[in-house]
Amino acid sequence: MAVHSRQPGFLHALLTFGLIVITIGTGLFILQTSLHSLMLLCLLIAGVSARRLGADYHTIKSAMNDGIHSALSAIYIFILIGVIIAAFIESGTLATLLYYGIRLIEPAIFLPAGLLFCTIMSLATGTSWGTVGTAGVVLMSIGESMGFPVAVVAGMIISGASFGDKMSPVSDTTNLSAMTSRTDLYAHIKSMSYTSGPVYLIVLALFTFYGLNYSESVLPAEHLDSLSDGLRSTFNISLWALLPLLAMLILSTRRVSAELAMAGSAIVAVLLALVLQGQEFGVVLNSLFYGGSVRSEVAELDSLLGRGGISSMMWTLSLSLMALALGGILDRFGFLRVLIVGILSRVKRAATLVATTIITSLFGNMGMGEAYMTIILGGQLFGDAYDEKGLDRCVMSRSLEEGATLTTALIPWTTGGAFFASTLGVSVLEYAPWALLNWMNPLFSIALAYSGFALFRTGR
């Protein structure tokens, strides 16, 4: 029989959350400890804190299970992305994109072109994860072959994919933010254009400037030619190899669920690996777990084509499970809810409310490890405060997206941060400074709020 638990006080909630942040910060930046070990310590802190409220073991375990259950779709996508990357390697899809990318894209325009490409793909499909797991992997390979720093390329990919995701009417987080804020979807997107649009243009200009200045130090044409020759000698380079990517785009734009779109794309890729590349069925199936099995005559290509597979996502998956379990405890026992309510009682200005929404969404991601839970909680708690100050709820939905959807990529232990780092092969701490849109947009929005710009009022 479950023991009744009470709600924590503000100081209790603040101490619990503070200990979790300090544990992660100290372990990550000072002791350089494994994130998995730090998550175990944080689970212990949250569990002991919940026990102090009168909760028994079974109730705490149930809260952890609920936290994991709330993001099961993300876990399925982790596995499917590993499968897709391996299947794209075996089918020659990645090699074909890499080949044409090396041949056709000038180094000077690689960064802005990549940013635009990721934006368009994410807008069309509504998923930053799908974009990073497909186009992002290809662009990382092209960028590495051209000699660009991997952190810069990863930051460019994540910036473009994140912008397209949050502005897409078929994105899950875009629809969730509008729904939980009880505002019209297109009013939500229009509201975001006032803050995200200018930042995107600034980010595009910065990557263009960096690319132009860096293009002189990229790898010589002879080296790129050797990579192209190595790809041609290893794969049957053909436009037919792009069918898996086309299948994913078609299924995504038809509003097919992300999991089914990815599974369908992977099936097409496996068939192409057998028919177009002449691979053995057993080898292809093994690669779906262990990663790409193709070996070329160029050592550099082997490292680019040896990625993917379900096994490559296990680090990410295990970390996410622990982070989600932690979020389940913090959510069930009201630690974040009490903190937000306590902070809202001290908010007086409309601009401060916007800043509070963005900042608490960031901390919500840090505590619960997942943007979905943060958006839902924020929609439940902030609505009355926006109504009292006469602000249109599209301002709230916009602030939730900018504080939750964008910042999840900047936190190593969230599902988004762990996924991007694992898929692109670059740690969050390395790429975060270059994920320009993800940290500039929230700061820009707060500054605009205090200037009074785009603070839409009800009845406007």
Say which range, 86-90, 203-207, 307-311, has the weakest mean pLDDT: 307-311
Q: Model confidence over 228-278: pLDDT tens digits?
A: 888 888 888 889 998 998 888 888 778 787 788 889 989 999 999 999 998
Q: Is 80 exceeded by the pLDDT of residue 442? A: yes
Residue 231 CA to residue 99 CA, distance in Å, equals 7
Residue 8 CA to residue 16 CA, distance in Å, equals 10
To which residue do tokens 């397209």 refer?
Answer: 164
To which residue do tokens 């009074």 refer?
Answer: 452
Per-residue pLDDT band for 97 (boundaries 50, 70, 90) equals: confident
Query: Which residues, listed in sequence order, are joined to residue 391 by a DSSP beta bridge?
Result: 457
Residue 322 CA to residue 326 CA, distance in Å, equals 6
Per-residue pLDDT band for 346 (boundaries 50, 70, 90) equals: confident
Average pLDDT over residues 358-379: 86
Asked if residue 27 lies in contact with residue 37, where contact means CB atoms within 8 angstroms, the answer is: yes
CA angle 156, 162, 164 (to 5 degrees): 105
pLDDT for position 261: 84
Per-residue pLDDT band for 208 (boundaries 50, 70, 90) equals: very high
308 sits in the region (left: phi over 0; alpha: psi -120 to 50; else beta) called left
Distances (CA, A) of 357 to 11, 31, 376, 400: 20, 32, 12, 6
The CB-side HSE value for 385 (13 A sphere, CA atoms) comes to 26
pLDDT for position 204: 97
Average pLDDT, the chain: 87
- For residue 216, give every residue at least 6 positions away whose Cβ sits within 8 Å of its Cβ, in sequence order, or none: none
Average pLDDT over residues 65-76: 82
CA angle 398, 404, 407 (to 5 degrees): 115
Q: Model confidence over 144-171: pLDDT tens digits?
A: 878 889 999 999 999 999 999 999 887 8
For the chain, the first-to-last Cα distance in angstroms comes to 53
pLDDT for position 459: 61
Average pLDDT over residues 348-366: 91
Per-residue pLDDT band for 415 (boundaries 50, 70, 90) equals: confident
Q: Between 28 and 355, whose confidence is greater?
A: 355
CA angle 126, 66, 418 (to 5 degrees): 50
Q: Between 295 and 167, whose confidence is greater?
A: 167
Say which range, 22-26, 83-87, 228-232, has the weakest mean pLDDT: 228-232
pLDDT for position 1: 41
Tallying the residues shown for the chain, one arrives at 460
To which residue do tokens 């009292």 refer?
Answer: 388
Per-residue pLDDT band for 444 (boundaries 50, 70, 90) equals: very high
Average pLDDT over residues 387-398: 92
pLDDT for position 429: 93
User: Nearest-CA neighbor of 440 among 398, 399, 406?
Assistant: 406
